Structure 1
Amino acid sequence: MSEPLIIRGGKIYSPEYVGKADILSFNKKVASIKRSIDENEVREVLGNPKVINAEGCLILPGIIDQHVHINGAGGEGGPLFRTAPIKSEDLLKTGITTVVGLLGTDGITRSLKDLLMKARQLSMEGITAYIYTGSYQIPSPTITGSVVSDIILINEVIGVKISLSDHRSSHPSKEELLRLASEARVGGILSGKAGVVHIHMGEESSGFTPILEITEETGIPITQFAPTHVNRSHSVLESSLEFGRRGGYLDVTTGVSKKSGFSKSVKPSEAVSFLIKSGIPVEKITMSSDGNGSMPEFDEGGNLLKVLVSPVDSMLS
């Protein structure tokens, strides 16, 4: 068992504002939140506590980041642009305690099995880690042979990743996307998981249309889909509004901004403000970092201009 820990005097959000209070943590769990915790009482029952003075600090729950390339990513521009696996301390320094790992453009030379083992490594180091099966490509790469069995049989797999409306995608037909969503839904139902279809959104004119048509024509709920990178450009952000107004979740990427070198992007905070002012409920807006990913920028002709690495600490920017 670990020693007791008292965190004194911080302003606590849980996630709503609680006020200024003390926190007692024991055996890696929050045991008590009180206006004032008596150090002597703790010592009598649990032993000598470690005390941290948090006066003037904000204390909030660990951040959930649903889009991190935990085992590295990249390759646009060649092998030189592949990024390395992430370290748990890079996540913890940013306050990220729960992470979902995934593959990106390269679902060919990168392995889902290796991604799974990286997630298990992070879990052993104190991070709650999950993964998506699949990648940009159709048919989706899997571990067990199918998306549905990956979700059912592998604890860490909570859904499937795909790319849509992007020149690097497989340009799946609506029928292929529907089939994938159906597999993810059944896998989620049978395993008690979300079975989410996590969608890398590109800038092609098809936009959100295939997803909207599927939700109109079938019984698959709009919340089965989780599109991300909606702030990659003003046009993508505007095209996401109908999806959000129908009750879908919209994910803003904190690692994408003009400050980071992405000339067409919308600043994450401005994107959130725009969505709220456009009638999207705040509880339907999420943010993720795309951390540790290779972030290429292309010109109008599809030529690679530059490649950046998205930092996970953008979640705090």
Structure 2
Amino acid sequence: MLSLIENADLYAPEARGICHLLVGAGRVLHVDRERIDVDARLLAERLDLQGAPLVPGLVDAHVHVTGGGGEDGFSTQAMPVPLSAYTAHGVTSVVGLLGTDDETRSTASLLARTRALREEGLSAWCWTGGYHLPATTLTGSVRRDIVSLGPVIGLGEIAISDHRSSQPTHDELARLASEVHVAGLLSRKAGVMHLHLGDGPRGLEPVRRLLAETELPPRMFHPTHVNRRKALFEEACELAPGGSTVDVTAFPVGPDEDAWSGADAWERFHESGAPAGRLTVSSDGGGCLPVFDNQGSMLRMDFATSAGLTDTLAELLGRGHELAAVLPCLTRNVAELLRLPRKGRIAAGMDADLVVLDTRHRPCHVMARGRWMVRDGRALVTGTFEG
């Protein structure tokens, strides 16, 4: 059965104006400015959006699907993130990862949770590895994990410039990056090295050295949390024109913090003249947001959710930025970097991952792979153990 969506103010993510879409078998079958004539007997539904914005489902490349935390003892380990915690905020594709705790959490459990989210209706992939070296893997090899395990698209989040990292050397990072790059070539996957940046003064120097002293392509280095320090963010803006995509984390920032919020970072990145296509925004959903003292002891903590993405989107639109300008860092840019060919855009042949925004720029209807997950702000589909 088919779904006909009419009178959508379509952002694909570029502005297309009022359009009509035909959806079936989990895909967008047709998009047209003219009304689509379909035999009513073939239609499961006809939905008139009356000019409401229709945007691609958000692609969140940094999510602790098994739960993050654990940096102040076992009692601070977070629970796995449930399905509706993504879809409620317009997220239809996620890339899961391990963080600080790659000891009691494993690649096997990460793969299992990734596959569970797929069974529940989300599109999901994962990074192999965690903060530390030698990298946590399932097969014993980063290259083999990427080549042989379908959902694994790259390596992450390897920690650098952070007191929680394994303090990797230049040679260790170079050798690991070469494994990731070759694995991507062999498997036609992203082959990206997703790098956690800490508060350390070395900042992005390890990445600059890899780019200067190896033949590895810039596109494979994807540093994240680059807005956690203002000086680090300036480094990221200088790195992007060379071909690396940098990732901003949509976390809350207090007025006295030496950091930029997701919205502030988006504005400053574009003001810097860096290529717009070299910026992505992720949520760190399910992850711990710790604050440490200068001795490495945790002072306080919070946990991130995918709401950070829609909060950032709404804030930027509230500041007067165009929806077509803001959307790519949450959709198309992410999908292109990660080589997810049917994600991040709305066009015939693409997966039917669709989000309708309300007048507050918040998701009111969310479709993932052709199935309505949220209608009128209410979750129609929940995870197996929700509720």
Indicate conservation of the 8 Å contact 2:85/2:305, yes or no: no
Tell me the equivalent position of 2:146.
Answer: 151
Indicate the percent of aligned positions where both proteins have the same amino acid. Answer: 37
1:136 aligned partner, one-letter code: Y
- Tell me what 1:230 maps to: 226
Among 289, 295, 298, which residue is 2:289 paired with? 295
The two structures, once aligned, show a CA RMSD in angstroms of 1.7
In structure 1, what is the Cα distance between the partners aligned to 2:219 and 2:9?
33
The letter of the residue matching 2:23 is S
Encode CA deviations 1:174-210: one digit per residue, 9 max, x unaligned: 0111011011011111111121110000111111111
User: Aligned residue pairs: how many?
Assistant: 310
Q: Would you say the 8 A contact 1:298–1:305 is kept in 2?
A: yes
Paired residues for 1:75-90 under 5 Å: 75-90=70-85
TM-score, normalised by the number of residues in structure 2:
0.77
Is the 1:131–1:156 Cα contact (8 Å) retained in structure 2?
yes
Q: Could you list the per-position Cα deviations for residues 140-176 of structure 1 after superposition, in whole angstroms to 9, with x for gaps in the alignment?
A: 0100001010011001111111001001000100011
Match of 2:8, as an amino acid? G
Q: State TM-score, norm by structure 1.
A: 0.93
Helix, strand or coil: the match of 2:216?
A: coil
Does structure 1 conserve the Cα–Cα contact (< 8 Å) formed by 2:65 and 2:110? yes
1:94 maps to a residue whose letter is: H
Deviations 1:202-260 (A, max 9, x none): 11111111111111111101111100001112121122233223221110111x2215x
The 8 Å contact of residues 162 and 200 in structure 2, kept in 1 or not, is answered as yes
Shift in Å at residue 56 of structure 1? 4.1
Report what 1:313 is aligned to: 307
Q: In the aligned structure 1, how far is the partner of 2:271 from the partner of 2:144?
A: 41
Opposite residue 91 of structure 1, the aligned amino acid is Y
Q: How does 1:153-302 map to 2 (within 5 A)?
A: 153-161=148-156, 162-254=158-250, 256-258=251-253, 263-302=257-296
Structure 1 residue runs of 5 or longer lacking an equivalent are none
What residue in structure 2 maps to residue 49 of structure 1?
44
Partner of 1:238, secondary structure, is: helix
Aligned to 2:334: none
Provide closer, same or farther for how the CA distance between residues 142 and 262 of structure 1 changes in structure 2, counting only shifts above 3 A: farther
| CA shift for structure 1 position 105 | 0.2
Contact residue 101 and residue 130 of structure 1 kept, 8 A: yes
Q: Any stretches of 5+ residues in structure 2 without a counterpart?
A: 312-387
Q: Which has the higher contact order (CA 8 A, sep 6+)?
A: 2
Deviation at 1:302, TM superposition (A): 2.5
- After superposition, residues 81-100 of structure 1 pair within 5 angstroms as 81-100=76-95
Q: What amino acid does structure 1 have at the position aligned with 2:31?
A: I
> By how many angstroms is 1:262 displaced?
9.1
CA distance in 2, matches of 1:249, 1:277: 16
